[in-house]
Structure 1
Amino acid sequence: MDANSPLVLVDMGIDTHQEPVVYMRGDCHVCRSEGFSASSRVLVKAGGHALIASLNVVDDRVLAPGEVGLSKVALARLGLPVGSPVSIAHVPVLNSLGAVRKKIYGHGLSEAEFTEIIGDISAHRYSDIAIASFLSVCAGSRMSLDEITGLTRAMVACGQRLSWPGHERVFDKHCIGGLPGNRTTPLLVAIVTAAGYPMPKTSSRAITSPAGTADTMETLCNVNLQLADIQRVVTETGGCLAWGGAVNLSPADDLLIRIERALDLDGEGQLIASVLSKKIAAGSTHAIIDIPVGPTAKVRTRPAADRLAGLFTQVGEACGLHIRCLLTDGSLPIGEGIGPVQEARDLLAVLQRKVDAPADLRERALWLAANLLDLAEDCGVSAALHKATALLDSGQALAQFERILNAQGGRKSLPDAAFEVVISSPAAGRLTAIDCRKLARLAKLAGAPFSAAAGLRLHARVGDTLEAGGALCSLYSDSRGERDYALDYYQSNADIFQLGGGGHA
């Protein structure tokens, strides 16, 4: 077969998540003539269609001579039907990888270099390994203020931006995470928009937690809104609760988050750039940043929180965004549910003013909402808190939340998990502490957030006195394997729940 002969496209039926993969025989004429080997980056072309992917070499029995296979995501991105003739070539040199290597060797990067890197990542030109290298070398405190600002602007520049004519101030909120069950954002959107202020909220899915706002809201309504949908919903209701990855506002962000999740990494500079780029792209002008601080939270000390708050504020100012950072108590989980469905049950209970609604979730949401209303009205947090409370207690916030759900396609019914196990205290005592990190890990091992109904529901809070056999929490899972895996983890980490006297549950 001639080295220039096209190959015939085959669907391999393999889910490689978001990493495009090409499959070729080791004796393929193209492999031999071009010198390709396993893990090579190759360019798949046909007419006006092109795709960069990683090469996997397969046995002769997997593909017939003259065939080239694509993974599911590669086939979708290429946009050609099975059986189409395609050619395979070397990938053009990516100059931005030189900037990544420059950073690896300890040198700072300019905004132009970040723009080139983010542009190539957004265009799917980077392999997962290259993205992981970029994220790793930017993690910790390896980025200067100028670099974080440059990365933020680069992430905004690579996508589209929303604008809201007629609104001088547009509001937003973000929590940096690390606190299980802290699902305040939907409550804030309901309260603030009920007060008449625009809040077009786009959120990420979970990175290192058992649920993100988008994961929780997806159990209640459609969050995969396109730009036109977001504009329609906000025009109709004043706010929205959408998944940011469904729109082209900061397209590199979800590509980076996918690798961060795999690395269990949430670096300081990338965190700030991720959060603020989405706020700016959504057209927000004012935002609050919730920074929980606690011994097992993401941010563990006051100095670390002060540093992060300072960076958020300075980068926001440099990008034309007014930021108010709030350092909050991160010593305990918030609410009773952990995982998408369980957290949805909590926020609905607060909106519906149920007597058994989690008081800590209600109080935290009201205080955060008061800060947003203070930004809007400059009335002082105390007066704003009174207004937020009235909006919630009168049912106006619930009615507004239902309007947003209806505008986003209508409210869904919450699913139940296939398996439930009650975890009990083996001894009597007073519950003195809960390890937030390990608690979140337990919920993730049970299947959250990928199984929406998976997670935990707390039955005991710090300060409660328990009898031996008293319920600590219920663990929910949709598979026996995940249930057993989570329970094995708990047996090795029973110090998640600390009892008075130095023991653990």
Structure 2
Amino acid sequence: MKLKIKNLNFSTGVPVCILNQKSADLLGVKINGRILLKKGDISLFSITDISNDFVNEKEIGLSYEVSQRLNLKDNAEIDVLLSSPPKSLVFIKKKMNGEKLSQKEINLIIKETVNNSLSESEISLFISSMYQKGMDIKETIFLINAILKSGKSIKLNNKGIVVDKHCIGGIPGNRTTPIVVSICASAGLIFPKSSSRAITTSAGTADVVESVAKVDFSVSEIKKIIQKTNACLIWGGSLELIPADEKIISIEKTLNIDPESQLLASIMAKKLALGAKYILIDIPYGENAKFNKKRALELKNKFEILGRHYKKIMRVVLTSGDQPIGNGIGPVLEMIDIIKVLSQSQDRPLDLEKKCIYLSGEILEMTHKSKKGKGQELAKELLTSGKAFEKFKEIIKAQKGDLNRLKFAKYKKDILAERTGKIKFLDNKKINSLGRIAGAPFDKSAGLFLYKHLGDDVKKGEKLITLYSESKSRIKASINFLKEQKPILY
């Protein structure tokens, strides 16, 4: 069936096409059914909705997500076909039953994830089956290969040393990446950094950088940024780079789960797509972190196996995850912490600075930019001299950004200590939840500022937290959460 395109100016989150009831009946498609759109070499699967208000029987309405991918003008004709059920469903059911999948089977699941053959609920089944049944290291390698195959890899012309790092999430704040990238790039290392948006926390690195700069670029644009600055701080969900990964991550957010095999595959695929030879992995551990020490060591071993398989020089470090790192929690507030550390402001968060110097030192040593045992010394010198801050500003400018773009929240509320005492416990999960209730990461300016850390003395009437939000109702909900859940014990 040929229909005329009508680009609709609204987003649905996923590719959706709207058909008139008569067109839908002729095609034999129902609401939430699948159709295939074809125009020359371009083809795209889409979910359907039905409405006689938006389109007539000769038209097909395209959501923003479909319009963006097809890039066709209104009234252009397109072939619309009824789509058969995805072939990979049988392999998803196989994994649900606890069976192992082959490279070919995982390739098809990922291919049909990217081309939109699989619905969100079907992708959710795959994610849930990975979470419940797990994947062995061989299947994880197959998953990495499939994710890489679904997108594009960047081959840099630079003859320099290409490095990358990743911190397993879950710790509020802990925004080390922009600082580490700036320190290492100022030392002459090539540091193409691709990051995710938040899954379970109040911000991911991409959310934080996006508060002052663009993070979504084409492969050719990324290359130009790296050639200019030695580095980039981009979002890993670029349609060209590794689209499968970000699509899976977006559904993980809804499910609020992060299967280990997908975590490993997501991290490794990003590193491999950007051509890193040296990789540092930071795994925060502790009873209050995503992983206890036993699980962290198991994960460390798996990363090292993957590093050897892909012939990468990899170092995995275990760091304390017992409390938030830094003061700001939420995109804008974490960016303020970053700027304070890089500019060596007197009120900078020293715990964040210390960790960044440690991680940067590890990278500088493993790449032989410094002698063994002297990496932290060089990292500190690059930071205190202002070279790292200048490099950061270069990167932000190259990414069409401006540090003056920081926008503060409309509403704020100070939370005061009700009594005198000492900070005994800071619940990472509850503090992350508090930031999300305030509106982070979707409202870039939302979140909280944390004044105290473990062991700090508290006086009655002192500020413990300042809440920031774009809505009064979210401030109220955050206060209620604080009263009920008590994320800070003193």
Shift of 1:88: 3.2
Match of 1:420 in 2: 412
**Match among 276, 297, 315 for residue 268 of structure 2:** 276
Q: Which moved more, 1:480-489 or 1:114-123?
A: 480-489
**Match among 11, 15, 32 for residue 20 of structure 1:** 15
Letter in 2 for 1:16: T
Contact 1:139 1:267 in 2 (8 A): yes
Shift of 1:210: 1.0
Describe how 1:361-440 pairs up with structure 2 within 5 A.
Answer: 361-377=352-368, 382-413=373-404, 414-440=406-432
Match of 2:202 in 1: 210
Match of 2:212 in 1: 220
Match of 1:240 in 2: 232
Contact 2:95 2:133 in 1 (8 A): no
CA separation in 1, counterparts of 2:273 and 2:3? 41
Q: Which moved more, 1:371-380 or 1:342-351?
A: 371-380
Q: Which TM-score applies when normalising by structure 2?
A: 0.94
Describe how 1:37-52 pairs up with structure 2 within 5 A.
Answer: 37-52=30-45
Letter in 2 for 1:348: I
Contact 1:8 1:66 in 2 (8 A): yes
> Per the alignment, in what secondary structure is the counterpart of residue 288 of structure 1?
strand
Match of 1:314 in 2: 305
Contact 1:118 1:154 in 2 (8 A): yes
Match of 1:324 in 2: 315
CA separation in 1, counterparts of 2:115 and 2:30? 23
Q: Which moved more, 1:271-280 or 1:34-43?
A: 34-43
Letter in 1 for 2:200: T
Shift of 1:91: 1.1
CA separation in 1, counterparts of 2:116 and 2:279? 30
Shift of 1:64: 4.0
Is residue 351 of structure 2 the alignment partner of residue 360 of structure 1? yes
CA separation in 2, counterparts of 1:396 and 1:86? 54
CA separation in 2, counterparts of 1:63 and 1:115? 36
Match of 1:134 in 2: 126
- What are the superposed Cα offsets for residues 22-72 of structure 1, whole Å, 9 maximum, x if unpaired? 22344x1x43344322221122345554331112234x5555444433322
CA separation in 2, counterparts of 1:377 and 1:87? 57
Contact 1:205 1:211 in 2 (8 A): yes
Shift of 1:102: 1.4
- What are the superposed Cα offsets for residues 400-427 of structure 1, whole Å, 9 maximum, x if unpaired? 2222223323423111110001112223
Shift of 1:273: 0.4
- What are the superposed Cα offsets for residues 162-218 of structure 1, whole Å, 9 maximum, x if unpaired? 223453631110001110110111111111111111111121221221111111112
CA separation in 2, counterparts of 1:417 and 1:452? 8
Letter in 2 for 1:218: E
Match of 2:49 in 1: 56
**Match among 431, 454, 462 for residue 446 of structure 2:** 454
> Per the alignment, in what secondary structure is the counterpart of residue 229 of structure 1?
helix
CA separation in 1, counterparts of 2:377 and 2:53? 71
Is residue 24 of structure 2 the alignment partner of residue 31 of structure 1? yes
| Unmatched 5+ stretches in structure 1 | 500-505
CA separation in 2, counterparts of 1:61 and 1:200? 47
Letter in 2 for 1:99: F
Match of 1:262 in 2: 254
Is residue 113 of structure 2 the alignment partner of residue 121 of structure 1? yes
Is residue 135 of structure 2 the alignment partner of residue 149 of structure 1? no
Shift of 1:314: 0.8
Is residue 287 of structure 2 the alignment partner of residue 295 of structure 1? yes
**Match among 441, 445, 467 for residue 475 of structure 1:** 467
Shift of 1:378: 7.8
Describe how 1:474-493 pairs up with structure 2 within 5 A.
Answer: 474-493=466-485
> Per the alignment, in what secondary structure is the counterpart of residue 374 of structure 2?
helix
Aligned in 2, Cα 1:478/1:37: closer, same or farther, shift over 3 Å?
A: same
CA separation in 2, counterparts of 1:141 and 1:392? 45
Q: Which moved more, 1:286-295 or 1:35-44?
A: 35-44
CA separation in 2, counterparts of 1:40 and 1:334? 46
Aligned in 2, Cα 1:180/1:84: closer, same or farther, shift over 3 Å?
A: same
Runs of 4+ residues over 6 Å off in structure 1: none
Shift of 1:322: 2.3
- What are the superposed Cα offsets for residues 94-132 of structure 1, whole Å, 9 maximum, x if unpaired? 322222121112110112222222122222222111211
**Match among 469, 492, 496 for residue 487 of structure 2:** 496
Contact 1:42 1:52 in 2 (8 A): yes
Contact 1:140 1:268 in 2 (8 A): no
> Per the alignment, in what secondary structure is the counterpart of residue 50 of structure 1?
strand
Is residue 106 of structure 2 the alignment partner of residue 111 of structure 1? no
Aligned in 2, Cα 1:429/1:273: closer, same or farther, shift over 3 Å?
A: same
CA separation in 2, counterparts of 1:32 and 1:245? 36
Letter in 2 for 1:38: I
CA separation in 2, counterparts of 1:483 and 1:343? 19
Q: Which moved more, 1:361-370 or 1:393-402?
A: 393-402
Letter in 2 for 1:334: I
Contact 1:313 1:322 in 2 (8 A): no
Contact 2:17 2:49 in 1 (8 A): yes
CA separation in 1, counterparts of 2:372 and 2:489? 35
Aligned in 2, Cα 1:378/1:218: closer, same or farther, shift over 3 Å?
A: closer
Contact 1:280 1:321 in 2 (8 A): no
> Per the alignment, in what secondary structure is the counterpart of residue 143 of structure 1?
coil
Shift of 1:93: 4.8
**Match among 330, 334, 337 for residue 325 of structure 2:** 334
Query: Identity, % of aligned pairs?
Result: 33
Aligned in 2, Cα 1:321/1:250: closer, same or farther, shift over 3 Å?
A: farther
> Per the alignment, in what secondary structure is the counterpart of residue 139 of structure 1?
helix
- What are the superposed Cα offsets for residues 267-301 of structure 1, whole Å, 9 maximum, x if unpaired? 100011001101001010111111111222211x1
> Per the alignment, in what secondary structure is the counterpart of residue 377 of structure 1?
coil
